[in-house]
Amino acid sequence: MNKIRILVVDDQTLIRDGLVAILSLQSDFEIVGEAEDGIDAVQIARNTKPDVILLDMSMKRQDGLATIPQLRESVPNSRILILSSFAEHTSVYQAIKLGAVGYMLKDTARIELLQAIRKAAKNEPTMHPSIAVKVINEFNSRKDEEINYGQLTRREMETLKLIALGCSNQEIAMKLVVHERTIAKYVSSVLNKLHLTNRTQAALYAIRQGLVTQSNVIQEIAEPILKTKVKVKPVVQYMEMTPAAPVATMTIVRRPRAQVKTNVVINAPTRTR
């Protein structure tokens, strides 16, 4: 099984260490690097070529918005998933416009973050439901960047609608009764013709043009959150690290009345900067 290679970027050491500890427990994840700001993130991404870059928005030397274009240029095949404390609609809109495939908040539960990372690795849109409506409304209000979708072929138009409804390439291929490789070509053509970066932008564009309904798209891009039935604490509350080295104890709360303690050996590893 190919693991999802992840670069964690956050300027708060405690949060960064906690995220690494949580993600390292997943058998399908591999942490390939850590960075404390956008400048380090770009350099490490060039060297490690991660599948997913978990990127904070507010960092001291270089913030997330300034970093996204540099990452898109340096590692175009890496998917950028924002994990931030800020939910301002303008910041979210700019992050998606610049090329982030998803935007999650730091009060997101652990299971929801894991689902979002797996979706991002497949270039599928994911967004915290509390900001999904905001960013869609912001996107709809921008009328200065209209693009004529009439240049799309009939098959490309069908593909765009299904992308907006959250379908994977395999699911689109089944619906249109063609090979999955053909769908990959359609998706690439749609993004190129409409000057879009990823499927998240495509979904938002489809709403603006009235090709799908806003409620359907909100349901799909916020799916990891909306389908979670178990109430769990935010990811930032999972990190109860004792200061003693080399071993720290982390409490992972999966249910309101059940706690599972996991010993995570830290051993003061040498981090890649």
Higher pLDDT, 141 or 182: 182
Residue 175, domain CATH = 1.10.10.10
Residue 259 lies in a domain: no
> Highest mean pLDDT range out of 206-210, 238-242, 263-267?
206-210
Determine, yes or no, domain membership for 44: yes
Q: Which of 60, 16, 21 is nearest to 38 (CA)?
A: 60
Residue 19's pLDDT is: 94
Within-domain flag for 32: yes
170 and 62 share a domain? no
Q: Does the residue 260 lie in any domain?
A: no
**pLDDT above 90: residue 237:** no
Q: Which residue in the block uniquely carries the two structure tokens 């909100």?
A: 218
Same structural domain, 121 and 188:
no
195 and 110, same domain (yes or no): no
158 Cβ contact list (under 8 Å, min separation 6): 176
Mean pLDDT of the chain: 77
Which of 37-51, 121-135, 188-202 shows the lowest mean pLDDT across its residues? 121-135
Whether residues 94 and 199 fall in one domain: no
Q: How confident is the model at residue 214 (pLDDT cuts 50, 70, 90)?
A: low
- Report if residue 114 sits inside a domain: yes
| Structural domain count of the chain | 2
Q: What percentage of residues in the chain have a pLDDT greater than 90?
A: 33
Q: Looking at the domain assignment, is residue 263 inside a domain?
A: no
pLDDT for 150 beyond 80: no
pTM of the predicted model over 0.85: no
Task: Please determine, for residue 244, whether its predicted confidence score (pLDDT) is greater than 90.
Answer: no
**Do 67 and 171 reside in the same domain of the chain?**
no
DSSP secondary-structure letter at 236? G
CA angle, residues 243, 23, 119, in degrees to nearest 5? 150
Q: Between β-strands 102-105 and 79-84, what pairing exists: parallel, antiparallel or unpaired? A: parallel
* Residue 94 and residue 25 share a domain: yes
Show which of 93, 128, 163 is a domain's final residue: 128
Instruction: Tell me, yes or no, whether 142 lies in a domain.
Output: no
pLDDT for 260? 43
pLDDT of residue 140: 60
Does any domain span residue 22? yes
Q: Strand 29-35's sheet: what is its strand order?
A: 29-35, 4-9, 52-55, 79-84, 102-105, 126-127
Residues 45 and 124 in one domain: yes
CB 32 within 8 A of CB 5: yes
Crossing angle of helices 199-208/154-164, nearest 10°?
100
Contacts of 28 (CB under 8 A, 6+ apart): 1, 3, 4, 118
Specify whether 117 is located in the same domain as 11.
Answer: yes
Same structural domain, 33 and 95: yes
Domain hosting 184: range is 149-217
Say if residue 210 is in the same domain as residue 176.
yes
Share of the chain above pLDDT 70, in %: 69
Residues 156 and 106 in one domain: no
